Structure 1
């Protein structure tokens, strides 16, 4: 048994997992580079079909990614920064509103005691920390600049991402072909089939679901800003990000938007109805157009599995684990499907099925 190739594979997988655990502090730029290369490879392949060389195709895709990043930095980040500061400033007022208007109404409806809600201490603590924002920023900057080596390492990792993704994207097809050439000849077809199923699940989720998240985030943000909600951009993008798990985005978004709307518009019914209409329209658009068109029915990743994978990856390996979570979950899902099929064809399943058909013996 010790000389069996199966045990060698198991030992190799355990060794790989141990190495990933040891190296996870430096894996982030490489994993982000792999992710960008994986997302950009179909675009480069399409440009190659249009008679463009592989290198020039990668340059075009890189230019597109850089343009999107520049737009985010120049337009979106300053707007989000202003809304985050506005939220920070409004937080004590929102606590005041909740304490003197919303919670007394809930207290009257539920018949709770007068001293049930205790928000005075929270409001006082928050107001004290609000005045120390400049001190906090100064301490953070002093901490970062005092450690020049850590700052250089962070900048090096940031600059490493485009370099890694460029070379991986350029040589993606060549690396896949070399890996396929290393597969055992008698198992090549089965392994290629498994890899194809994993690619279909992961590609549908990453490319499809990310586009759905982007479309919903834009729609929610634009709709809430047109209504006049002060924090519309922040809440809309937050709802779009939460849409990585189906139905979570609309729950998070409509809860936060209605809370902000109640605080801003008071008891005015029509703005609150318009907020609800934005999220209803977003759900209808997602269900009837975006998900069938961009994602389809190929994912097979249950929403609970997505949440667990992301949280488990973050707990075990930090940010690197979050990046690894969905690819590992996609591979596990494909393996579980095949294990289920093997079990249904096994003698164990047949014996338990036969035994269940026998009438129970009399007592």
Structure 2
């Protein structure tokens, strides 16, 4: 019964789309009746059919995606495989230039990745497992220590701010209730992480499909590219292909370079904290490396856990942590990033900062991560449109009078 109702819902959407298409068509016909030949809006039947079918396919995909289930999981798997192919394609091309076939080159890269993960698992895997277990076991104690530290700091500064027109009691109650809520949130988060891990393992087949899909995307890249090019309208084919190359040139260097920079930050931070003697150094290093991909705000976010654990262990370590992180960030910003990432994006720092804040405000962490690539893409589109508009001739524009 539910399937029948869903089918009726699909049919209703298609019927409404058909009515709208007919309405637009007859509106154009009626408008052309009162206009001269030069002003008439002409739409070919083939174009109209393509537009209508595109709307029907878009509605169907929207309904399928909204319903969730296996299709969503499969599409997500394919999307991840495409992204993985995008990152590995330069390596495959490099091996292809050395007279190594694409299939064999992909297998070599896969074996290299497996070997790298095996080495990491055997070397730092046990240490990461121990740190995660220790952190989960001692997390309530750390929260209590942070709370006691905050109360002690308030008791020291309290006499100096008693005369301020602020309701200190209510602030103290808010802080206490905030920490209580934080305990509950962290506890429920741990449970959610465990449940998510179980679901993740139960869907492990998708992990197997990702490299399989990626293998064929990389191996048959020329076939996929030819099919996409063939599907483009001949009139706009050259422009769309040129635009795609420009976007790929800007985003490819930036994204791959940022991943290398994040790896550098993560490894350097972990090694520095291990040398200083801060607990959970590897986890903090991974945290700092992941968040470093967020421009300007990422390094600050990555510094916070290191400072918290340094304060809880030995306040004198805070100075060493700040010094180490500062040196790492200076090396990254002055040497590593200019060398690897370069000026591929070419955005002003103010534009980047505003974009990150807007992306974070609307879409959270994902918006902050995608802010710079999105702005860079719009910048390429803007340049493309400006160039096309500047080449337009006056006679190409239909007069209104």
Does TM-score exceed 0.5, indicating one fold? yes
For the residues of structure 1 that align with 2:120 and 2:51, how far apart are their CA atoms? 44
Match of 1:168 among 217, 226, 229: 217
Distance change >3 Å, CA 52–CA 170, structure 1 → 2: same
Which stretch shows the higher mean deviation, 39-48 or 89-98?
89-98
Structure 1: gaps (5+ residues):
349-363
Which stretch shows the higher mean deviation, 207-216 or 101-110?
101-110
Correspondence for 1:3? 43
Does the residue aligned with 2:293 lie in a helix, a strand or coil? coil
Once the two structures are superposed, residues 324-359 of structure 1 have per-residue CA deviations (whole angstroms, 9 ceiling, x without a partner) of 9887665444223333555677899xxxxxxxxxxx
Once the two structures are superposed, residues 210-232 of structure 1 have per-residue CA deviations (whole angstroms, 9 ceiling, x without a partner) of 11111111111111121111132
- Shift of the alpha carbon at 1:173? 3.3
Once the two structures are superposed, residues 65-111 of structure 1 have per-residue CA deviations (whole angstroms, 9 ceiling, x without a partner) of 22233345455554334333433414333334333323434545544
Write the mapping of 1:184-263 to structure 2, written as runs, cut at 5 A. 184-263=233-312
Write the mapping of 1:1-363 to structure 2, written as runs, cut at 5 A. 1=41, 3=43, 18=59, 21=62, 22-23=64-65, 24-88=72-136, 89=138, 90-105=141-156, 107-108=158-159, 110-111=161-162, 114-115=168-169, 116-118=171-173, 119-121=175-177, 136=191, 140=195, 154-266=203-315, 268=316, 271-300=317-346, 302-305=352-355, 331-341=377-387
- Shift of the alpha carbon at 1:312? 6.0
Query: Paired residues, what number?
Result: 334
Higher RCO, 1 vs 2 (CA within 8 Å, ≥6 residues apart): 1
- Shift of the alpha carbon at 1:202? 1.7
- Shift of the alpha carbon at 1:180? 2.7
For the residues of structure 1 that align with 2:111 and 2:391, how far apart are their CA atoms? 51
For the residues of structure 2 that align with 1:105 and 1:8, how far apart are their CA atoms? 76
Structure 2: gaps (5+ residues):
1-40, 66-71, 395-401
* Contact kept? 1:258, 1:275, Cα under 8 Å: yes
Once the two structures are superposed, residues 246-276 of structure 1 have per-residue CA deviations (whole angstroms, 9 ceiling, x without a partner) of 222221122332222222113x2xx222211
Provide the alpha-carbon RMSD of the alignment.
4.1
Distance change >3 Å, CA 276–CA 343, structure 1 → 2: farther
Distance change >3 Å, CA 62–CA 130, structure 1 → 2: closer
For the residues of structure 2 that align with 1:37 and 1:127, how far apart are their CA atoms? 41
Larger radius of gyration: 2
For the residues of structure 2 that align with 1:32 and 1:177, how far apart are their CA atoms? 22
- Shift of the alpha carbon at 1:190? 1.5
For the residues of structure 2 that align with 1:53 and 1:130, how far apart are their CA atoms? 50
Distance change >3 Å, CA 58–CA 275, structure 1 → 2: same
For the residues of structure 1 that align with 2:375 and 2:61, how far apart are their CA atoms? 16
For the residues of structure 1 that align with 2:189 and 2:384, how far apart are their CA atoms? 54
For the residues of structure 2 that align with 1:14 and 1:279, how far apart are their CA atoms? 52
For the residues of structure 2 that align with 1:206 and 1:132, how far apart are their CA atoms? 34
- Shift of the alpha carbon at 1:197? 0.9
* Contact kept? 2:278, 2:313, Cα under 8 Å: yes
For the residues of structure 1 that align with 2:345 and 2:322, how far apart are their CA atoms? 29
- Shift of the alpha carbon at 1:280? 1.4
Which stretch shows the higher mean deviation, 290-299 or 173-182?
173-182
Does the residue aligned with 2:172 lie in a helix, a strand or coil? coil
- Shift of the alpha carbon at 1:30? 0.7
